[in-house]
């Protein structure tokens, strides 16, 4: 009990102490307040306090009595806040409205970029209030990687919150202030009228851009023909797809392809023609936009103007494409909301009817909204036919000539209007750089982890393919039965690349190998079986076509000769500015390894005696150790180089000392295309139509090979004749344009 009594006494003492402390503090405050009220300054400022109170009461009464527009009220409020902050500092609206914007603007201005005097692109951002979204959008433009020169034009559509007053505080942007509300279409047109760029890019203010977003859009126009409009991949803040290109059905309704999907899936990551792209982020050439007359104002204030623009661009003969490398985070509804039953969003339904009326004939060409597998149909909307290509792995055009030919074939089919899907069937590997290169051509690439089975893909999508091309016998053997089962409408095509059995047969002769002879015989049996059981076999050599036509077992088989397809850049430097001789090849291919070893060991010693100082450059990926061991003062093992242009344009001549092989040799064709004269073995030009002494020099004996090299290296007249004839021959026989008819014949 004594302890409990003591505790109570202590608590009472503490309470009493707190009470007297509070009482003394209050007395002190009352004394200070009394001093303030009796001071001279308080008496002098009394009229100001009465004026402020009266002004507030009067303004409130005027606001209710006089119908002043919301915009004017907002503008007046901003002006008052800016010029007389001491009158309003205590208002909650002043703190809520002014301070956050001012701090946000200051933060954005820290990242501003020097405005380009000659912008390539004019970025037009239409706004209606929501200044915080606009500021975030502008900051994202300034802080993300971009090499294209641009200007930013912000259009304020007579927003009632007075936010236009703040736009002038943002550094290095141009502003357009609409005197009255023009809606989205009118605001975009107003911004476009003030643009200085070659391109106009329309960007919603409720967006944030990603690295390289603008460069990807601009480069679309330079890397593809006849582009009229390109649109970005739109992503929700949740990192799900909002739109990967838009679809318009025959009833005029729209569909955001890929909506809520994974943005990394293959089907959303290749460039393709689409019905339209949302104007949240689209780029168009200014000249074309002006020719069309801008956005059609019948769709004011908003919705369907972007769909209409895409349809008009196609009517003018241009393409509308989706560019997946341009990524935009879109806070959809951040400006207009999401409820289509009220507000500006209601015009989504109203304007659909206007669109249906204007484009009723064109809509008949669109897909209905509910056929079987309608998404697969719609995403291939503008293609003649669909081609599936199966090969071991993705083409690596900077490492071997064969891959370069495959790439050119893909490009040709796409330009002809076919859709191309590619599966690297051995590994389903996404190869950074190489896969993206195909996707940017417009190839739909299938890869892991999204799909890892050719059979499954065929089961899911086989019915939509009109042609299936299988490269190499090992691929055709694996999947021929599945293709026949799952692709009932498809023409089945076997591309040999080269006759494997013939190459092995020749290698067996060079090496005197009984094992290789047996392997050659077995390979011939396999290749013959595939030729008999496919609808068509593509042969890349005239010699091989002639050889196969002698085979009795193939008398009913369809064979077609297809030349190699290469770019033909022509010659860019003259004879005297060039030096060195080069060999190009990939060294996973045995004939190339043998050719380099043979040349270094048999031909180079003769050259050293007869013309000392010639440098032999060995280019190509994966040179084995036995080739690397050849390195010396006059033998340079260069290895892999990302582009061959510099070497083709600086070398005096190219050598192709192949002793065995099959098919047409890409290294010879590529050299001719660059105007680089060639000394080749007979096998090097076999089946190509290339003629000795007219297009190249030919030798099979080491001494004669060396003699031809010296002759061509020293004789400028001969060099120029072969260079010119080589380019002419390449243009007539190996350019993309020269083989288009054969490409069509293969798949039709």
One-character DSSP codes across 132-178: HHHHHHHHHHHHS---S-EEEEEEE---TT-THHHHTTSTT-EEEE-
651-657 average pLDDT score: 96
Per-residue pLDDT at 109:
73
Cis (ω within 30 of 0) for the bond into 449?
Answer: yes
For residue 441, pLDDT beyond 90: yes
Candidates 385, 376, 270, 271; CA nearest to 320 is 271
- Residue 412 tokens read as 């040709």
Q: Please enumerate in sequence order all residues whose Cβ is within 8 A of that of 679, keeping only pairs 6 or more positions apart, or say none.
A: 653, 654, 655, 656, 696, 697, 698, 699, 705, 708, 709, 712
Q: Please enumerate in sequence order all residues whose Cβ is within 8 A of that of 76, keeping only pairs 6 or more positions apart, or say none.
A: 162
Least trusted range by pLDDT, from 6-20, 77-91, 251-265: 77-91
285-311 average pLDDT score: 93
Q: How confident is the model at residue 285 (pLDDT cuts 50, 70, 90)?
A: very high
Model confidence pLDDT, tens digit, residues 503-550: 999 999 989 999 999 999 999 999 999 999 999 999 988 999 999 998
* Helix (H/G/I), strand (E/B), else coil: 423: strand
Per-residue pLDDT at 70:
45
Per-residue pLDDT at 420:
95
- Residue 649 tokens read as 């344009």
Model confidence pLDDT, tens digit, residues 720-741: 999 999 999 999 998 888 888 8
8 Å CB contact between 389 and 423: yes
| Beta pairing partners, 121 | 150, 199
656-683 average pLDDT score: 93
Residue bearing the bigger pLDDT, 26 or 577: 577
2-6, 234-238, 336-340, 557-561: which is most confident: 234-238
**Order of all β-strands in the sheet with 697-698:** 635-639, 616-619, 581-584, 653-656, 678-680, 697-698
676-705 average pLDDT score: 95
327-344 average pLDDT score: 67
The mean predicted confidence, pLDDT, of the chain is 87
Per-residue pLDDT at 711:
96
Q: How confident is the model at residue 606 (pLDDT cuts 50, 70, 90)?
A: very high
8 Å CB contact between 723 and 681: no
For residue 561, pLDDT beyond 50: yes
Per-residue pLDDT at 404:
82
Separation between Cα atoms, residue 569 and residue 675, nearest integer Å: 8
54-58, 162-166, 293-297, 378-382: which is most confident: 293-297
For the chain, percent of residues with pLDDT exceeding 70:
85
* Helix (H/G/I), strand (E/B), else coil: 584: strand
Per-residue pLDDT at 88:
58
Q: How confident is the model at residue 662 (pLDDT cuts 50, 70, 90)?
A: confident
Residue bearing the bigger pLDDT, 52 or 424: 424
Model confidence pLDDT, tens digit, residues 166-223: 888 888 899 999 999 999 999 999 999 999 999 999 999 999 999 999 999 999 999 9
End-to-end CA distance of the chain: 108
289-304 average pLDDT score: 91
Q: How confident is the model at residue 261 (pLDDT cuts 50, 70, 90)?
A: very high
Least trusted range by pLDDT, from 352-361, 379-388, 528-537, 711-720: 379-388
For residue 9, pLDDT beyond 90: no
Per-residue pLDDT at 430:
95
156-165 average pLDDT score: 84
152 phi, psi to nearest 5 deg:
-115, 125
Per-residue pLDDT at 375:
67
Q: How confident is the model at residue 431 (pLDDT cuts 50, 70, 90)?
A: very high
For residue 229, pLDDT beyond 80: yes
76-80 average pLDDT score: 62
Per-residue pLDDT at 47:
73
DSSP 599: I
118-122 average pLDDT score: 95
For residue 451, pLDDT beyond 60: yes
Per-residue pLDDT at 427:
92
Is pTM beyond 0.95? Reply is no
93-116 average pLDDT score: 66
Q: How confident is the model at residue 631 (pLDDT cuts 50, 70, 90)?
A: very high
For the chain, percent of residues with pLDDT exceeding 90:
62
Per-residue pLDDT at 33:
67
For residue 392, pLDDT beyond 70: yes
Q: For 527-559, b where at least 16 C-beta lie within 10 A, e where not — what string?
A: bbebbeebebbbbbbebbbeebeeeeeeeebeb
DSSP 90: T
Model confidence pLDDT, tens digit, residues 466-494: 999 999 999 999 999 999 999 999 999 99
For residue 71, pLDDT beyond 50: no
Separation between Cα atoms, residue 308 and residue 275, nearest integer Å: 10
Q: How confident is the model at residue 129 (pLDDT cuts 50, 70, 90)?
A: confident
Q: How confident is the model at residue 40 (pLDDT cuts 50, 70, 90)?
A: confident
Per-residue pLDDT at 445:
97
């Amino acid at each position: 009990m004594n302890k409990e009594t003591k505790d109570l006494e202590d608590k009472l003492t503490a309470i009493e102490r707190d009470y007297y402390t509070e009482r003394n503090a209050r007395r002190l405050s009352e004394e200070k307040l009394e001093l303030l009220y009796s001071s001279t300054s308080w008496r002098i400022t009394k009229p100001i306090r009465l004026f402020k109170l009266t002004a507030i009461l009067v303004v409130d009464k005027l606001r209710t009595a006089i119908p002043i527009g919301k915009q004017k009220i907002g503008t007046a409020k901003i002006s008052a806040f800016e010029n007389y902050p001491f009158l309003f500092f205590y208002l909650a609206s002043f703190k809520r409205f002014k301070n956050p914007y001012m701090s946000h603007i200051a933060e954005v201005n820290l990242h501003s970029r020097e405005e380009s005097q000659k912008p390539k692109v004019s970025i037009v951002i239409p706004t209606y209030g929501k200044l915080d979204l606009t500021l975030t959008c502008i900051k994202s433009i300034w802080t993300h990687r971009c090499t294209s020169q641009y200007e930013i034009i912000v259009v304020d559509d007579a927003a009632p919150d007075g936010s236009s007053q703040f736009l002038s505080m943002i550094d290095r942007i141009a502003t357009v202030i609409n005197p009255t509300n023009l809606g989205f279409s009118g605001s975009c047109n107003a911004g476009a009228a003030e643009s200085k760029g070659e391109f106009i890019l329309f960007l919603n203010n409720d967006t944030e851009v990603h690295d390289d977003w603008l460069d990807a859009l601009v480069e679309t126009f330079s890397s593809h023909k006849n582009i009229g409009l390109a649109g970005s991949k739109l992503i929700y803040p949740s990192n799900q797809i909002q739109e990967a290109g838009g679809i318009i059905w025959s009833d005029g309704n729209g569909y955001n392809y890929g909506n809520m999907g994974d943005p990394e899936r293959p089907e959303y990551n290749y460039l393709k023609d689409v019905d339209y792209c949302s104007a949240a982020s689209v780029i168009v050439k200014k000249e074309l936009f002006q020719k069309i007359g801008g956005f059609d104002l019948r769709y004011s204030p908003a919705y369907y103007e972007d769909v209409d623009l895409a349809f008009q661009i196609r009517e003018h003969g241009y393409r509308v494409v989706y560019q997946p490398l341009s990524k935009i985070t879109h806070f959809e509804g951040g400006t207009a909301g999401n409820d289509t039953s009220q507000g500006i969003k209601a015009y989504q339904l109203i304007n659909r009817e206007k669109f249906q009326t204007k484009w009723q004939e064109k809509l008949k060409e669109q897909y209905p909204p509910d056929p079987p597998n309608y998404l697969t149909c719609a995403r291939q909307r503008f293609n003649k036919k669909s081609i599936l290509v199966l090969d071991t792995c993705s083409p690596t055009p900077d490492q071997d000539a064969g891959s370069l030919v495959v790439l050119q074939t893909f490009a040709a089919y796409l330009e002809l209007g076919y859709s191309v899907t590619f599966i690297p069937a051995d590994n389903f590997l996404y190869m950074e750089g190489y896969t993206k290169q195909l996707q940017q051509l417009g190839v739909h690439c299938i890869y892991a982890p999204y799909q890892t089975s050719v059979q499954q893909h065929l089961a899911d999508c086989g019915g939509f393919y009109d042609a299936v091309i299988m490269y190499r016998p090992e691929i055709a053997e694996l999947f021929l039965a599945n293709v026949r089962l799952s692709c009932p409408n498809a023409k089945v095509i076997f591309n040999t690349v080269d006759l494997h059995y013939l190459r092995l047969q020749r290698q067996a002769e060079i090496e005197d190998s009984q094992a290789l002879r047996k392997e050659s015989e077995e390979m011939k049996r396999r290749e013959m079986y595939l030729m008999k059981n496919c609808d068509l076999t593509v042969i890349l050599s005239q010699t091989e076509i002639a050889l196969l036509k002698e085979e009795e077992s193939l008398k009913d088989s369809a064979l077609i000769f297809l030349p190699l397809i290469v770019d033909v850049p022509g010659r860019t430097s003259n004879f005297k500015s060039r030096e060195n001789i080069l060999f190009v090849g990939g060294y996973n291919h045995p004939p190339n390894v043998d050719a380099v070893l043979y040349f270094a060991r048999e031909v180079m010693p003769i050259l050293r005696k007869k013309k000392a100082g010639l440098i032999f450059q060995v280019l190509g990926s994966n040179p084995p150790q036995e080739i690397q061991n050849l390195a010396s003062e006059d033998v340079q093992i260069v290895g892999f180089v990302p582009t061959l242009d510099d070497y083709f344009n600086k070398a005096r001549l190219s050598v192709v000392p192949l002793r065995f092989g099959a098919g047409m040799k890409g290294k010879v064709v590529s050299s001719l295309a660059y105007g680089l004269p060639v000394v080749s073995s007979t096998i090097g030009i076999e089946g190509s139509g290339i003629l000795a002494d007219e297009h190249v020099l030919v030798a099979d004996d080491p001494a004669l090979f060396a003699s031809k090299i010296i002759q061509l290296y020293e004789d400028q007249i001969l060099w120029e004749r072969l260079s010119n004839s080589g380019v002419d021959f390449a243009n007539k026989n190996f350019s993309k344009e020269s083989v288009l008819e054969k490409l069509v014949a293969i798949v039709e």
